[in-house]
């Protein structure tokens, strides 16, 4: 639901590397018989500007597993182990956060800022 497909745009396909690759294929007289397109997915945490260098920002603060992985009790990443957003803007694996909120010790507070946890509706950036 909140996943964002990262497929190359037509502009990226016409990049210099592609041009060189096609040139190599023609000069080496190699014939491409078939090819597979591969897609990858990433949770859209609204924090994509910081995807370089900000490695820490891409893991769940509770289990320290990347958002795209799953919480320690799940086996399959993806829709079966989704993320949860707080109105305070902090993001966790839903299962990790619910395990914490379910304890009396949590006082129903966000683990990051100790403000009362309020689950946010994901606001999708229109751009």
Q: Give the interface with another protein as residue ranges (CB under 8 A).
A: 61-65, 72-73, 96, 99-100, 103, 105, 107, 111-112, 114
Residue 97 to residue 109: CA distance in whole angstroms: 10
Cα angle: 46, vertex 87, 48; to 5 degrees: 10
Q: Considering the complex, what minimum distance in angstroms separates the CB of residue 60 from another protein?
A: 9
Q: Considering the complex, what minimum distance in angstroms separates the CB of residue 3 from another protein?
A: 24
Q: Which is nearer to another protein, 94 or 112 (CB)?
A: 112
CA distances (Å), origin 122, targets 21, 27, 34, 105: 41, 50, 40, 27
Q: Which is nearer to another protein, 44 or 109 (CB)?
A: 109
């Amino acid at each position: 639901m909140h996943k964002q497909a990262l497929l190359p745009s037509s502009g990226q396909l016409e990049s210099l590397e592609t041009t060189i690759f096609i040139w190599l294929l023609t000069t080496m007289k190699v014939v491409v018989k078939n090819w597979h397109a591969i897609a990858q997915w990433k949770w859209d945490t609204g924090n994509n500007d910081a995807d370089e260098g900000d490695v820490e920002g891409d893991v769940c603060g509770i289990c320290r597993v990347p958002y795209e992985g799953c919480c320690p009790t799940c086996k399959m990443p993806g829709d079966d182990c989704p993320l949860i957003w707080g109105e305070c803007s902090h993001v966790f694996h839903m299962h990790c956060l619910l395990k914490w909120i379910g304890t009396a010790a949590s006082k129903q507070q966000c683990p990051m800022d100790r403000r009362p946890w309020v689950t946010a509706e994901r606001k999708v950036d229109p751009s």
